[in-house]
Amino acid sequence: MSDMDEMDDGSGIVKKFMFLNRKAPHGTVYALEGLEVVLITAAFDQDVSMVFTDDGVFQLMKGIDSKGIEVKDFSKTYRALEGYDIEKLYVDQASLDARGLTEDDLIVDVTVLSVPEMANLMAEQDVVISF
Amino acid sequence: MLHIVNKSAAERSSLESCLRMATKGSAVLLIEDAVYAATNGNAAAAKIQAAAADLKIYALGPDLAARGMAGRVLDGVNVVDYGGFVDLVAEHSNCQSWL
């Protein structure tokens, strides 16, 4: 990350980026690709929020064991986000409810938002990138 | 007939179409993201449980485990491994994949 700091063009502009995750983890490659883009973005010192709605909340499930389908378990990477200064993780309450899940089922600490709160958070972003 | 569904019921209509067309005594195997529908508290769970009266419902164990859902499977749903998947295909005269 220090290499990237030296490459800073000096403009110092910080934008609010939201990464919106709406897909379950293994059925498509969106979840893994989205996570990799977030980690890249962290190198540019931007104001990053990660949001999980719809089937995207399944990305944060505890107890994932992907050996049987022979794919990488990237769920532990969400716990490393803090080390990249990505600490704003938001989950939609209604999406948890529709899947029989609670905050305790998730692998990381998150802020659970109501629909109006989520809508306001989206509205205040400079950039929203959807996966 | 064996029906195979692989997409989340929250995203696609394939599970609903399958349950509408499947005739009494048929088998439905849920794989990949379709396994979420067979877990406790999911919005699609009631449809699966209602369907289980007339159909045999199966879910692929490795796909449940890979999604952290192995301990949440609905009563009345049979969990099978890859060997069981092969057996289901062999036991039925035809199969339909709802892509």
Q: Which residue in A66, A99, A105 is closest to B66 by CB distance?
A: A66
User: In the prediction, which pLDDT does A55 show?
Assistant: 98
In a domain, A24, yes or no: yes
In a domain, A4, yes or no: no
Place of tokens 């389908």: A69
User: In the prediction, which pLDDT does A42 show?
Assistant: 83
User: In the prediction, which pLDDT does A43 show?
Assistant: 87
Euclidean distance between CA atoms B79 and B35, whole angstroms? 10
User: What's the half-sphere exposure (Cβ side, CA atoms, 13 Å) at A92?
Assistant: 23
C-alpha closest to that of B47 among B64, B60, B30, B61: B30
User: In the prediction, which pLDDT does A8 show?
Assistant: 54
- Do B41 and A63 lie within an 8 Å CB cutoff? no
User: In the prediction, which pLDDT does B69 show?
Assistant: 98
Q: Flag the least confident range among A9-13, A59-63, A90-94, B9-13.
A: A9-13
In a domain, A99, yes or no: yes
In a domain, A7, yes or no: no
In a domain, A8, yes or no: no
Q: With contact defined as beta carbons under 8 Å apart, do B58 and B34 qualify?
A: no
Q: With contact defined as beta carbons under 8 Å apart, do A39 and A48 qualify?
A: no
The DSSP 8-state label assigned to residue B39 in this structure reads B
Q: Which residue in A26, A28, A98 is closest to B66 by CB distance?
A: A26
- Do A101 and B41 lie within an 8 Å CB cutoff? yes
Contact residues on chain A for B38, CB-CB shorter than 8 A: none
Which pLDDT band holds residue B5 (cuts at 50, 70, 90)?
Answer: very high
What CATH number is given for B2-98 in this structure? Answer: 3.40.1260.10
Q: With contact defined as beta carbons under 8 Å apart, do A26 and A32 qualify?
A: no
Classify B7 as helix, strand or coil.
Answer: coil
C-alpha closest to that of A40 among A28, A31, A48: A48
Q: What is the ipTM of this complex?
A: 0.91
User: In the prediction, which pLDDT does B78 show?
Assistant: 98
Split into its structural domains, chain A has a count of 1
CATH number at residue A98: 3.40.1260.10
Domain, as residue range, for A24: 14-64+73-130
Q: Which residue of B has its CA nearest to A107?
A: B68
- Do A55 and B10 lie within an 8 Å CB cutoff? yes
Q: With contact defined as beta carbons under 8 Å apart, do B75 and B40 qualify?
A: no
pLDDT digits (tens, 9 = 90+) for B49-83: 999 999 999 999 999 999 999 999 999 999 999 99
User: In the prediction, which pLDDT does A104 show?
Assistant: 97
Q: With contact defined as beta carbons under 8 Å apart, do B34 and B77 qualify?
A: no
Chain A positions contacting chain B at CB under 8 Å are 23-28, 54-55, 58, 61-69, 71, 73, 75, 98-101, 105
Q: Check whether A13 has a pLDDT greater than 90.
A: no
In a domain, A9, yes or no: no
Contact residues on chain B for A24, CB-CB shorter than 8 A: 8, 33, 36, 67
Mean pLDDT of B23-35: 97
Which pLDDT band holds residue A10 (cuts at 50, 70, 90)?
Answer: low
